[in-house]
Amino acid sequence: MASGSSETAAGPAAVSARSGTDRLPGAAEEESSARSLGERSHAAGPTALVLSTAPAEDGGPAAALPWEGTTVLRRLLLQLEDLEIARVRVITRPQWERLLEPSVAGLGPAVRVHASSSVSEDLRTVAEAARAGAGPVVLVHGELVTHREALAGLLVTPRIVTGILARHGGVPPYMAPRTRSTRGRVMSASSPYHATGRPNTSLLGVLRVGERDRAELIETAERLASLTEPPLPPGWEEELERKVSRWRMSLAEVAASPGGLDAEQEADPAPAQPAEVGQGPEAGDDPVPVVLSEEDEAEVALRAAILREDVVSMLLVGLVRADVHVANSFLRALFWSRPLSRAKARDTAEHFKGYDEDRVLLDSAVKGNDGFFTTFFVSPYSRYIARWAARRGLTPNQVTTVSMAIGVLAAAAFATGSRPGLVAGAVLLQVAFTTDCVYGQLARYTRTFSKLGAWLDSIFDRSKEYVVYAGLAIGASRGFGEDVWVLAVAAMTLQTARHMADFSFGTTQHEAIAAEWRPPVDQPGDGIALKRSATSVLPTSPPGVDGDGGPVAVSAPTGPSPSPLQYAEPATDVPAEPAPPFARRIVAGTARRAIAVSRALDRRGWTRWLKKILVFPIGERFAVISLAAVLTTPRTTFIIVLAWGAVAMLYTFTARSIRSLSR
């Protein structure tokens, strides 16, 4: 299980960290879950279908573009081999079969090139392969250039059954079709023939379908195979034309502006108004006559040709529309590209060399939606402890157990009731909290996730806090002559109730998301453009709930809610619903305005942090306990914790009630 053999750009630190953790001898549970996946994969045989059907600028397959003495495709195949994906079929067009043979040479009999003459045949091949094997099926573009860790994050983790490699925001849509995600789940996807309303994420050309969803994959692939046989269903060509006309317009704009931006850049070309937004009638209906240079015309033709071959995106649309739970595995700050010309492949290789993969991995091991104290006072240094722990070969489970032990020591120190004891307890509590942050960062950095580990960490977090409450209460009666047990029980009750509110609210959110209506796959629209309610997904921030911070980052689900702003898109039928009573509309309207204000506050940096602090997350709680225990008495400590907790609870309850009323 050596580190990526083709990863020339990875720093030596990354290599040692990774191989170090991979070889842990006594990492019982953590390892076993990662290993068992690997073993099972071997036994059941994961199948990778490498779609090398996208044409490059020179008319050949993009997958055959040169890369450091070999080809882009071979580089990818070596990465797949390294990730223990043994069975690989490279799907390409018959005229390119010979061109790709050198890329698979010497990779063993399980790696084969398969010629297919059309998209429809590609899809049938996918269905066949899914039917033949028993393990997960991986679909990937042959000309994909990314870090091994980016692939591993999706393909080698027990956390994801079916998922895609994704990133927030946009990539040029012909390279990476847009998707919309809520709470980490893909809610809508686009393809050459399908549009996504309010996109906030993109599909980066890798789709993994787990055993659980194999039947759906087969069914979806077969359905799409027949749909993509000409003539295409109504509205499909129009949708592709809509995309093409948008490229023409943006290319014309670039050409018109002096020193125009390179539209090929990795950066999001138009984050404010993503091109993929289902713009309904106003976009496609008045084709502006745009005159492009010969070069740009060729560019548009190439993009359309590439997009037409994008079987991965079509399958994603099919799975999402079939209600399959597709998760996002985010690229983080790792490198990703789809070179489609020799020049671009050269640039990519150049760019790739300058990448400090370990740095990126370490930075992205830090949880994105942590609280203020954790983000600014703990994570900046705890990540280096995490790296040190990884190099020492410590497992996350060991680290979380150590954190629990330190928490108990902190409680014991508090229980002495003396001032030095309180100071020692405060320091130990902070050490325990830092260690707890190290746990999560170590798990993400080394990709060692296990269900038992996650359960243990959660239970330990709660136990630490409540043991400390008990320690403070004992210390209060021993050293201060105060009986604060009532306050201790009250604080524990309040905190448990606050957590239960988070869990229950999250559960109902998940349910609402799962119940969201999805149109059948033969319709180009995803139905979201029909529902212009205020319950939209946040455009930039990652979706999801931050425990205590419920109202901050929750993206409300959008059920098929009737709204006065509805308009009809021609090719989509949405189940009609009766108009709600007038009073309810007023309430919902007011609630939506309140949510809009709250969103506006999220956009400014300091108000967003203020809201996060207000909900009193674990970092703030532990900091307050430490500080108050040092400076004041246990009684005052409990009163502060109770008061802040009560305010936080009131705030989240109000915010969630407003959210519930907006529906």
Partner 1 sequence: MTTTAARSRATSGPLSRLGDYRDDGPLARMVGRASGAVPIPAAALTLLSALPLIAVLAIDADDLPALGVAVAWAVIAGGLASGRPDSGRFAWAVPTLVRLVEYGTLLVFAVLAGPQAVPFCFALVAALAFHHYDVVYRLRHQGVAPPVWLARAGGGWDGRMVIGYLLLLTGAVGAGFLVAAIVLAALYVSESTVSWLRFSQPRRPAQYDDEEDEDD
Enumerate residues 457-516 that contact partner 1 by CB under 8 A: 458-459, 461-463, 466, 469-470, 473, 483, 485-486, 488-490, 492-493, 496-508, 510-511, 514
Measured CA to CA, the distance from residue 645 to residue 519 in angstroms comes to 43
Distance separating alpha carbons of residues 498 and 514, to the nearest angstrom: 24
Q: Closer to partner 1 at the Cβ: 222 or 370? A: 370
Cβ neighbours for 255, distance < 8 A, ≥ 6 positions apart: 292, 293, 296
Residue 356: CB minimum distance to partner 1, A = 26
Q: How far is CA 82 from the centre of its chain?
A: 23
**Looking only at Cα atoms, what is the longest distance across the chain?**
88
**Binds partner 1 (CB under 8 A): choice among 54, 63, 160, 385:** 160
Closest approach of partner 1 to the CB of residue 272, in Å: 27
Q: How far is the C-alpha of 91 from the C-alpha of 118, rounded, in Å?
A: 10
Task: List, as one string, the DSSP characters of 134-185.
Answer: SS-EEEEETT-EE-HHHHHHHHS-TT-SSEEEEEES---TTTS-EEEEETTE
- The smaller minimum CB distance to partner 1, of residues 355 and 653, is found at 653
Please name the residues in contact with 205: beta carbons below 8 A apart, sequence gap of 6 or more: 140, 141, 144, 165, 175, 176, 312, 338
Closer Cβ to partner 1, 280 or 550, answer by number: 550
Using a 10 angstrom Cβ sphere, with 0-12 exposed, 13-18 middle and 19 or more buried, the burial of residue 132 is: exposed
Taking the complex as a whole, the smallest distance from the CB of residue 547 to partner 1 amounts, in Å, to 4
Q: Given candidates 77, 386, 545, 629, which one binds partner 1 under the rule CB under 8 A?
A: 545
Q: Which of residues 165-184 bind partner 1 (CB under 8 A)?
A: 183-184
44 binding partner 1? (CB under 8 A): no
Shortest Cβ distance from residue 540 to partner 1 (Å)? 17
Asked if residue 367 lies in contact with residue 547, where contact means CB atoms within 8 angstroms, the answer is no
In residues, how long is the chain? 663
Interatomic CA distance for residues 428 and 411, integer angstroms = 9
Cα separation, 211 vs 188, whole angstroms: 22
Using CB under 8 A, pick the residue from 344, 592, 611, 656 that binds partner 1.
656
SS3 call for 514:
helix
Phi, psi of 187 (to 5 degrees): -100, -30
Nearer to partner 1, 346 or 510 (CB): 510
Q: Min. distance of Cβ 451 from partner 1 in angstroms? A: 4
Span near partner 1 by CB under 8 A; candidates 201-209, 418-426, 455-463, 629-637: 455-463
3-state helix, strand, coil in the chain (%, to 5): 55, 10, 35
Q: How many CB atoms lie within 10 A of CB 609?
A: 15
Q: How far is the CB of 466 from partner 1 (least distance, A)?
A: 6
Is residue 1 within the footprint of partner 1 (CB under 8 A)? no
Q: Which of 96, 93, 67, 88 is nearest to 8 (CA)?
A: 67
Minimum Å gap between C-beta 67 and partner 1 is 32
Residue 63 gets which letter from DSSP? Answer: G
Could you tell me the smallest distance in angstroms from the CB atom of residue 455 to partner 1?
5
- Measured from the CB of residue 323, what is the shortest distance to partner 1 in angstroms? 13
By CB under 8 A, which span of 288-296, 297-305, 414-422, 454-462 interacts with partner 1?
454-462
Smaller CB separation from partner 1, 343 or 486: 486
Q: Which of residues 618-647 bind partner 1 (CB under 8 A)?
A: 618-619
Residue ranges in 379-418 that form contacts with partner 1 under rule CB under 8 A: none
**Applying CB under 8 A, does 161 fall inside the site for partner 1?**
yes
Count, residues near partner 1 per rule CB under 8 A: 75
Q: Looking at 76-84, 298-306, 526-534, 612-620, which segment touches partner 1 (CB under 8 A)? A: 612-620
For the record, the structure tokens of 512 come out as 């609402």
Cross-strand bridge partners of residue 71: 66
CB of 330 to partner 1, least distance (A): 11
3-state secondary structure at position 371 = coil
371 binds partner 1 (CB under 8 A): yes
Answer yes or no whether residue 243 interacts with partner 1 by CB under 8 A: no
First-residue to last-residue Cα distance in the chain: 50
Q: Which is nearer to partner 1, 65 or 473 (CB)?
A: 473
- Binders of partner 1 in range 189-228 (CB under 8 A): 210-212
Cα–Cα distance measured from residue 248 to residue 359, given in angstroms and rounded to the nearest whole number? 39
Q: Whose Cβ is closer to partner 1: residue 651's or residue 653's?
A: 653
Q: Which two tokens stand for residue 117?
A: 């003459």
Nearer to partner 1, 310 or 546 (CB): 546
| Min CB(212)–partner 1 separation in Å | 7
Contacts of 419 by beta carbon, 8 Å cutoff, 6+ apart: 479
Minimum Å gap between C-beta 280 and partner 1 is 30
Rounded to 5 degrees, what are φ and ψ at 206?
-130, 125
Residue closer to partner 1 by CB (options 4, 163) is: 163
Q: x/- binding map, residues 301-340, to partner 1, per CB under 8 A? A: ------------------------x-x-------------
Name the minimum Å distance from CB 91 to partner 1: 27
Binding string, residues 67-96; x marks residues near partner 1 by CB under 8 A: ------------------------------
Which residue number, 278 or 544, has a Cβ lying nearer to partner 1? 544
Residues 6+ apart with CB under 8 A from 402: 435
Binding mask 139-158 for partner 1 (x = CB under 8 A): -------------------x
Q: CB 201 → partner 1: shortest distance, Å?
A: 14
**In terms of CB distance, is 176 or 615 closer to partner 1?**
615
Q: Which is nearer to partner 1, 301 or 515 (CB)?
A: 515
By beta-carbon proximity to partner 1, the closer residue of 318 and 549 is 549
For residue 50, list its beta bridge partners: 90, 140
Min dist CB 79 to partner 1, Å, is 22
- The pattern of x and - marking residues 4 through 43 that bind partner 1 according to CB under 8 A reads -------------------------x--x---xx--x---
- The residues near 28 (Cβ < 8 Å, ≥ 6 apart) are 397
**Rounded-to-10 torsion of CA 567, 572, 575, 579:** 0
Q: Going by DSSP bridges, is the β-strand pair 87-92/111-115 parallel, antiparallel, or unpaired?
A: parallel
Measured CA distances, 422 to 205, 409, 415, 469, 621 (Å): 55, 11, 8, 12, 16
Q: Which of 367, 585, 599, 635 binds partner 1 (CB under 8 A)?
A: 367
Report CA Rg, the chain: 27
Contacts (CB under 8 A) with partner 1, residues 546-605: 546-549
